[in-house]
Copies of this chain bind each other. A is one copy, B any other.
Amino acid sequence: MRIAVIGAGLMGADHAKIVAEDLPGTRLQVICDMDATRARSVADATGAADVANDPEGVIARADVDAVIVASPDFTHAPLSLAAIRAGKPVLCEKPLSQSSAECLGVMEAEIAAGRRFVQLGFMRRYDQSYVEMRRALAEGRIGRALMMHNFHRNVETPAADFTGAMAITNSAPHEFDVVRHVLGCEYASIAAWQPRRSDARVAPVVMVLETTDGQIVNIEINNNAAYGYDVRAELVGEGGSIAMNPVAYTRMDQAMAQSTGYDADWRSRYAEAYRRQNRAFLRFAETGVFPEIGSSAWDGYAAAVVAETGVRALTSGQKQPVQMMQKPEFYK
């Protein structure tokens, strides 16, 4: 299986590294980036066979069997469409698009092609904590799901002009997707708040969503939490509760305190989830069978719709209904 990685930034370099170091049976064929130096640097670090700067050309190459798209967000949908046209499986980093309409276009192309090509990079579905939460629910260990509480905290925003709307469209989709995935239903409404900060940085966004099955979902996105990269989740059922447990391999006793460390960012926290996701993508590319817990174009559409609605909820200060199309047979 010869793989092309489109985009040689942080995410692309990580994907190339996973292919090179963790996916026996694959060949890292091309690293493609507008910036030739960057492409070369990643290729050298991973032993990729070739570099390029023309994504659509790369996708069409005869010596490329599957594609990983990790280029800027606005290219995700067009390059997914190119992969569908080329008849090649694509693992596309999230979001598929911030526009639900553009997601619809990808779905239509896939449906027209008659088979699945697009797997989205909502890697949290492969994180062991969510896997165990979903399993506990399926096995009836906590009874029917009632609520899910979710917290997403970064040390600080990359950009100074990050806004609450961007917290909803850029950071929250991971939460939107994994909660849908764990609960197995869609959203019916969303409301959003922001506390006031004393400085110009973006304040946290607090959201409450209703699902189509009558559950209540809390999501906090705190992009300037200062203290660490910290993702939490609790799934509350009628008979008990299951929560993500922080993973730390050691604890320190020092200076009148016992402490465990936080991750600096998502890369160490989700390293294993990315590996599992990419292995699932490899099997998908080999067999054509879409991964049981993989994210599809439909999931990309769902995340886009709720994010768009969330922005309106934040702007208006009013709870908004989430209005989605019917799920096509093709994605069931």
Shortest beta-carbon distance from A177 to chain B in Å: 19
Question: A residues touching B (Cβ–Cβ < 8 Å)?
Answer: 20-26, 127-129, 131-133, 136, 141-144, 146-147, 149, 155, 191, 193-199, 203-204, 206, 208, 210, 213-216, 218, 220, 222, 224-228, 230, 236, 238-262, 264, 317-319
Which residues of B lie under 8 Å from residue A244 when comparing CB positions? Answer: 249-250
Q: Given known contacts A195-B216, A259-B257, is B236 in contact with A222 (CB within 8 Å)?
A: yes
B194 lies within 8 A of A191 (CB)? no
* CA–CA, A226 and B149, complex, Å: 18
* CA–CA, A217 and B294, complex, Å: 35
The 5 closest A-B pairs by CB, nearest first: A196-B214, A259-B259, A240-B254, A241-B253, A128-B249
Write the chain B residue with the least CB distance to A255: B227
Most chain B CB within a 10 A radius of its CB, from A128, A143, A241, A264: A241
Shortest beta-carbon distance from A200 to chain B in Å: 12
Shortest beta-carbon distance from A81 to chain B in Å: 30
A210 lies within 8 A of B226 (CB)? no
* CA–CA, A296 and B258, complex, Å: 35
A242 lies within 8 A of B251 (CB)? yes
* CA–CA, A239 and B198, complex, Å: 11
B142 lies within 8 A of A254 (CB)? yes
